């Protein structure tokens, strides 16, 4: 069962955890890398590509 993490917005439409185009429903998320110094250097390590090509 998917569980929405409140107030986590995500615009990675081709991720399996993205619902309604802007809502992350992963049970937990991991953001990195630990060496990041700016927002542009971060990534969501929880991202998994969706097999739904219509997204």
Residue pLDDT tens, the chain, 55 long: 566 567 788 889 999 999 988 899 988 899 999 999 998 999 999 999 998 756 5
The answer as to whether 25 is a domain residue is yes
Q: Please give the angle made by the CA atoms of 25, 10 and 45, to the nearest 5 degrees.
A: 80
The answer as to whether 7 is a domain residue is yes
Q: What is the pLDDT of residue 1?
A: 56
Kindly report the pTM of this predicted structure. Answer: 0.71
The answer as to whether 14 is a domain residue is yes
Give the domain extent around 12: 1-50
Total number of domains constituting the chain: 1
The answer as to whether 55 is a domain residue is no
The answer as to whether 18 is a domain residue is yes
CA distances from 6 to 9, 15, 36, 37, 49 (A): 9, 17, 24, 25, 22
């Amino acid at each position: 069962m998917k569980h929405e993490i409140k107030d986590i917005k995500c615009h990675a439409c081709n991720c399996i955890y993205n619902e309604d185009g802007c809502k992350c429903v992963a049970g937990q998320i991991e953001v990195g890398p630990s060496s990041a110094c700016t927002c542009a250097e971060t990534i969501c390590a929880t991202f998994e590509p969706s097999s739904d090509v219509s997204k």
